[in-house]
Amino acid sequence: MSSLTPLLHPRSVAVIGATERADASSSFVMRNLMQHGYAGQIYPVHPRAETVFGLTAVPTITHLPQPPDLAVICIAAPYVAAALEEAGRKGTKAAIVLSSGFAEKDAEGRARQQELVEIAAKYDMAVCGPNCLGLIAHQANTVLYSSRFPMGVPKGDVALISQSGAIAIALSSTGCIGFSHIISSGNSAVTDIPDYLRYLAADPLTRVVMLVLENISRPEALAAAMQEMHKADKRVVALYVGRTERGAAATSAHTGALAGSFAAVQAFFRRHGIVSVESMDELLQTTAVLSVLPQRPQKRGLAIIGVSGGGVAHVSDVASAVGLTIPPLQPETIAQLKAILPPFITPQNPLDTTGLPFSDGDVYRQALDFLANDPAIGLITAVQDAPPGLDEAGTREYLPIAQGIVDFAHTAPVPVVVVSNLADGHHPLFSEPLRQAGVPMLRGTAVALKAINHLFTPMPMAARTAQTDLAMDAFWQKRFANGAPFTEREAKQLLAAYGIRTTREELATSAAEAVQLAAAIGFPVVMKIESPDITHKSDVGGVLLGVGDETAVEQAYDQLMANVSKAMPQAKLHGVVVQEMVVAGVEAFVGVSRYAPFGFGVVVGPGGVLVELVGETAVDLLPLNPESAQTLVESTRLNKLLSGFRGSPPADRSALVDTILKLAQIVQLYGDYLDTIELNPITVLPEGQGICVLDAVMLPAKSSITQEVQLLRRS
C-alpha cells in the first residue's frame, strides 16, 4: 500500500488547473489553503498564467525544481490521466483527482478510471477520488477542499470519511464535533476506505472515525482495517446510504427479497465491530458520545435520573425500546437515597428527584454517587431539558443541577450522559460548564438513547473457522455443474445425503401410481407438482394439502396437472410428488443466498405462510459456528415460537441449529456451483424429536432461473 502521509499531510502542493475564477474547484482549493493557514508550499500549475492569487505559476508540474508531495488535479476528465502520469514521472507520491466523468458516468468513464488505477500502481501513488471534493487535515490547517470550508469548524479527535462530499461538509459544519481529518473519498479508485482506516488507526490525533458509505467494494480489506482500528482501541461509526433494493420482492426465490443486501451489510458491521446508525443525526450524536467516552461501560445497567417524573418515565420507555437495560436498584442503594431525599420521593430506577435539586445541587450530586455505586449500574443518564429559548433567569435555575453533574463527573466511577428530551438541545448557559467538564450532552430522546446504546456495541467477533465435517460428493458436484434447476425432490435427496431429515415422498406419473404411493406412505398426504421450471409451486395451484383417501388422491392428481398446465403451459411437468404430511411442530425458514460482495449469507426466520406475512428475518454471513447459528435463531420472533407458545411444547431448537450448520457446510462445499438454497418450511418438532424439511428450493449458479433472480436483484 502506498504511504498516505503525502496525501493527508503534504509539505508541498501543486494545483493543476489553477485559476482565480471564483466558481472553479482549483480556486476553492487555493483560497482554502491560504485562508486556513496552510504552512507548506503551494504551486499553481497553469499553461499560460504567470501568477494565481499572487503565487508564481508554472506551465506544467515538470517545471518545478522539486517534486511536490501532492498534486491536486482540477482539469477535465479526458486530460486527467496525462496529468497524473506527468506527476508520477516527476516523483510526486500522491494526488487528489477532483474531476468527475469517470466510473460514475459510463463505460468510457470506467475505462478512464482504470487508466488512473494503472498509472497510480506504476508510480506507487496514493490517490483520493476521482469525483470527490478533496480532503482536510484539520489539525494541520491543510484544507484541500474544492468547496467553501467554513472558518471555525472545531478541531478534535474525530475523522470523517464520506463517499459523498456534500454530506461531509454538512456533518462538519454542525459545530458539535471536533475533527482531525475530513475526507471526501469519491469513487475511491485507488485509495479506498480501508486504506484511510489503516492510516487513521495509527494516527495519534484520531480516536473515532465516522463513515458515510454508499458501497463496500473490498470487504476483506475493510475487515483487516477494522482489526487494526480495534487493536488501537478506536471506534468506527457508519451510516450506510442506499439501503433499499428495488425489485427484490419480484425475485424467484424468497431469500434475497426477504433479507435484502443491507441486511448483509449489517451482518458484516456486527461481525467486525462497526457501529451502524440509521440517520445523520444518529451518526453525529453517536460519534459525539464515543469521542468523549470511547471505552465500553463495564456493566450494561443504565440508571436514569431527573427532576421530572414524566421526563424520566419517557426516557425509560424509549431506553427499553432501543434495547437498553434498566435494572432495579439494590436495597443498599435504595436505603442511601432514602436518607437524603424527602419521604414523598420513591427511590427507584428511573429516579425522579422532583424539584429539590433546583435549590440543593449537593443532593443531586449525592444521588448520582449512590446510583453510580450500585453494582448493576454501568452508566447514568441525567435527563434535563434547559432549552435554548429559555430566558437567562429561567436557565440559571438549572445551574445547581449542572454543577452537581460537573462535580460528580470529576471523580465518577461510571460515565454520565446528559439527555434533553427536546431536539433543540440545551441553553448555552446550562451546557457550557458541562462541555468544559467533558460531559456528553445529547438531544432528542430516541436518537440520544440509540447513541447511548451504541456505547455497548461489542468488540468484533472472533474469527470463525468453517466446519469441515462433511465432504464433497462427486455425484452432486456433477449435478450442480450441470446448471439445471433442482426439483424439490432432488434438493431433498441432497439434503438427506448430508444428514438433514426430509419428508418421505415419491414421484407419481399417473393418478393410479399416486394412489399406490399414498397408500404406502399413509394418509393424509401432500401432493405437489414436479417441474424444473417452477420454483414456488403454490403460486400456480401446484400444491394440495391433507389429501385424505384414495379417491381424493386420484382427483388431486388430475387437478394439479390441469392447474399448472393452464397457469404455465410452457413448463415441463415430470408428474406429481406424493409426500407424507407433517403437522406437529413450529414452522421455520432457513435460506442461503449470495450477497455481493460478501459471499454467502444465511437467512433465518418464521416459516410457512409467516415468512412473508411477518417478514422478519435475521441474517449472518458465512462461515457460521454454533454460537452464531444459535444467535440467528434467537434474533427473530421464531425464538418465541420455539420456546413454547400458548400451551405448545418447546420445539427442538438444537436440531434447528444443527440443520443451519449442516446447510452452511453444504454451501461451503458446493458454493462455486450454487446461488440459492431455501428450506421453507422446516418443521421443528417437539424437543428431542428433531426437524423435518417439508419444502426445498435449490438453484445452481448457472440455472436460467438463477440468472433471472440475479438480474432482478441488481435492478
Tell me: the pLDDT tens digits for 350-368? 999 988 878 777 899 999 9
The domain spanning residue 40 has which CATH number? 3.40.50.720
The domain spanning residue 550 has which CATH number? 3.30.1490.20
Q: Is residue 595 domain-shared with residue 545, that is, in the same domain?
A: no
Highest averaged pLDDT of the listed ranges 528-537, 546-555, 696-705:
546-555
Predicted structure pTM score = 0.88
| Banded model confidence at residue 615, pLDDT cuts 50, 70, 90 | low
Place of cell 476506505: 193
Q: Which three cell numbers stand for residue 604?
A: 433465518
Q: What is the pLDDT of residue 86?
A: 98
204 Cβ contact list (under 8 Å, min separation 6): none
Is residue 464 in a domain? Answer: no
Q: What is the pLDDT of residue 255?
A: 40
Q: What is the pLDDT of residue 294?
A: 78
Q: What is the pLDDT of residue 715?
A: 32
From 521, 553, 580, give the residue that closes a domain.
580
From 437, 454, 471, give the residue that closes a domain.
454
463 Cβ contact list (under 8 Å, min separation 6): none
What ranges in 298-455 are assigned the alpha helix state H? 309-321, 331-340, 361-372, 392-396, 399-411, 428-436, 445-454
Q: Is residue 63 domain-shared with residue 192, that is, in the same domain?
A: yes
Beta bridge partners of 590: 604, 679
Cβ proximity of 619 and 265 under 8 Å: no
Q: What's the number of CA atoms in the CB half-sphere (13 Å) around residue 71?
A: 35
CB neighbour burial string for 134-161, b if at least 16 within 10 angstroms, e if fewer: bbbbbbbbbbbbbbebeeebeebbbbbb
Q: Is residue 277 domain-shared with residue 308, that is, in the same domain?
A: no
- Has residue 512 got a pLDDT over 80? yes
Render pLDDT for 643-659 as a digit per residue (tens, 0 to 9).
987 778 999 999 999 99
Domain that holds residue 679: 586-714
Q: Which of 199, 208, 257, 254 is nearest to 228 (CA)?
A: 199
Cβ proximity of 238 and 276 under 8 Å: yes
Q: What is the pLDDT of residue 461?
A: 65
Is residue 497 in a domain? Answer: no
Q: Which of 587, 592, 588 is nearest to 491 (CA)?
A: 592
Q: What is the pLDDT of residue 229?
A: 96
Q: Is residue 546 domain-shared with residue 594, that is, in the same domain?
A: no
Q: Largest Cα–Cα distance of the chain, in whole Å?
A: 98
Q: Is residue 572 domain-shared with residue 708, that is, in the same domain?
A: no
Q: Is residue 140 domain-shared with residue 173, that is, in the same domain?
A: yes
Is residue 490 in a domain? Answer: no
- Has residue 320 got a pLDDT over 70? yes
Taking residues 582-604, what's their average pLDDT?
92
Taking residues 447-454, what's their average pLDDT?
97
Q: Is residue 110 domain-shared with residue 194, that is, in the same domain?
A: yes
The domain spanning residue 604 has which CATH number? 3.30.470.20
Q: What is the pLDDT of residue 707?
A: 44
Q: Is residue 26 domain-shared with residue 102, that is, in the same domain?
A: yes
Q: What is the pLDDT of residue 703?
A: 59
Cβ proximity of 260 and 245 under 8 Å: yes
Is residue 493 in a domain? Answer: no
Cβ proximity of 591 and 582 under 8 Å: no
Residue 266 is inside which H or E element, if any?
helix 254-271
Taking residues 534-542, what's their average pLDDT?
89
Q: Is residue 77 domain-shared with residue 182, that is, in the same domain?
A: yes
Q: What is the pLDDT of residue 49?
A: 95
Taking residues 196-225, what's their average pLDDT?
95
| Banded model confidence at residue 1, pLDDT cuts 50, 70, 90 | low
Mean pLDDT score of the chain: 91
In the chain, % of residues over pLDDT 90: 81
- Has residue 251 got a pLDDT over 60? no
Name the least confident of 188-192, 255-259, 398-402, 661-665.
255-259
Is residue 315 in a domain? Answer: yes
Cβ–Cβ contacts within 10 Å for residue 585, how many?
A: 23
352 Cβ contact list (under 8 Å, min separation 6): 306, 307, 308, 309, 312, 345, 346
Q: Could you write out the DSSP letters of every residue in 629-663?
A: HHHHHHTSTHHHHHT--TTPPPB-HHHHHHHHHHH
Which of 621-625's residues contact partners 24+ apart within 8 Å by CB, and which partners? 621/264, 621/267, 621/268, 621/271, 621/595, 622/466, 622/592, 622/664, 622/667, 622/668, 623/464, 623/465, 623/466, 623/467, 623/664, 623/668, 624/464, 624/660, 624/661, 624/664, 625/464, 625/465, 625/467, 625/661
Name the least confident of 244-253, 293-302, 322-331.
244-253
Q: Which three cell numbers stand for residue 516?
A: 399406490
Q: Which of 247, 244, 195 is nearest to 217 (CA)?
A: 195
- Has residue 244 got a pLDDT over 90? no
Cβ proximity of 577 and 557 under 8 Å: no
Is residue 109 in a domain? Answer: yes
Taking residues 190-212, what's their average pLDDT?
97
Q: Is residue 632 domain-shared with residue 562, that is, in the same domain?
A: no
Q: Is residue 442 domain-shared with residue 570, that is, in the same domain?
A: no
Taking residues 52-63, what's their average pLDDT?
97
| Banded model confidence at residue 164, pLDDT cuts 50, 70, 90 | confident
Q: Is residue 684 domain-shared with residue 539, that is, in the same domain?
A: no
17 conformational bin, left if phi > 0, alpha if psi -120 to 50, beta if neither: left
Is residue 488 in a domain? Answer: no
Cβ proximity of 693 and 619 under 8 Å: no
Classify 527 as helix, strand or coil.
strand
Q: Which of 314, 338, 409, 320 is nearest to 368 (CA)?
A: 409
Taking residues 447-466, what's their average pLDDT?
83
From 412, 437, 454, give the residue that closes a domain.
454
How many helices and strands in the chain, by DSSP H and E? 25, 29
- Has residue 88 got a pLDDT over 50? yes
Q: State how many domains the chain has.
A: 4
Is residue 247 in a domain? Answer: no
612 Cβ contact list (under 8 Å, min separation 6): 254, 258
